[in-house]
Amino acid sequence: MAEKDCILLPVLNESDITRYWKYLVRGRPDECWLWKGTTAKGYGTFGVGPRKAHRMVYAHRIAYFLEYGVDPAPFWILHRCDTPLCCNPAHLWRGTAADNIRDCISKGRFSAGDAHYWRRNPEAVLRGERNGGAKLTEADIVEIRRLYDTGLLMREIAVKFGVGKLQIGLIVNRKHWKHVPSEEPKRPRWGDHGETHHVAKLKDADIVEIRALYASGSMSQYALAEKFGVTQGAIHYIVARKTWRHIP
């Protein structure tokens, strides 16, 4: 693994280099040379530059530069020894972010899938009503899904429970609160339409009457919407035959 700091190094003068070596314990060529100065995120850091332009740089990046005379930017500097404080140039190599991930995976230290902390410790996950920010209970979730399957609209359910319509959609589609058991969603069969659809508010006969009333000019779309308890937009799509097209 390595720590990202991929911008160009600041200019190092002789004083900086002399001061740098004071913080590094150099051993044999095959040993880790451990940094004894300041650290950040487990990696050694070294301050460079005057007060107004002072900057902290990762010590292992300076070690690579001093050994090979090449600024490692824009690459990462990875550790073969997997010791973040090590600054032995023989243990360092330049690579990309992808190289860093592959190195981590090859050494079995990439926490993903079954190896992830939450997967290994499911009891530590504050799901559902155990979460301090939860506005709903598990009983609410069961009721929300039941109401949706009976045909109640998401926006109506959202108002009833004081949450957003998007949240209701995630709940009824089992994207959120997946740990709460409930009956399988009653989705319409393929091809269901009209009054056989599980959320239909109108009957086939209502559609025939709406189109007849509008065609006669006796009622406006607004009046029809009031009469049948739907939106004006729904009436517009009905009379324009953009919906309920199976009704002649």
∠ CA 91-14-62, rounded to 5°:
25
Burial group, residue 209, by CB count within 10 angstroms (0-12, 13-18, 19+): middle
Query: Can you give the pLDDT at residue 5?
Result: 67
H or E element at residue 186: none
Q: Which pLDDT score, from 0 to 100, does residue 113 have?
A: 72
Residue 129 near residue 137 (C-beta atoms within 8 A)? yes
Q: pLDDT value at position 153?
A: 87
What tokens appear for 34 in the block? Answer: 């451990």
Taking 50 as the pLDDT cut, the residues of the chain under it are 1-4, 188-191
Which domains, from first to last, does the chain contain?
A: 14-114 (3.90.75.20), 136-172 (no CATH), 194-239 (no CATH)
- The order of strands in the sheet holding 43-48 is 39-40, 43-48, 55-58
Q: In 3-state terms, what secondary structure has residue 55?
A: strand
* pLDDT tens digits, one per residue of 50-92: 878 888 999 999 999 999 999 998 999 999 998 999 999 999 9
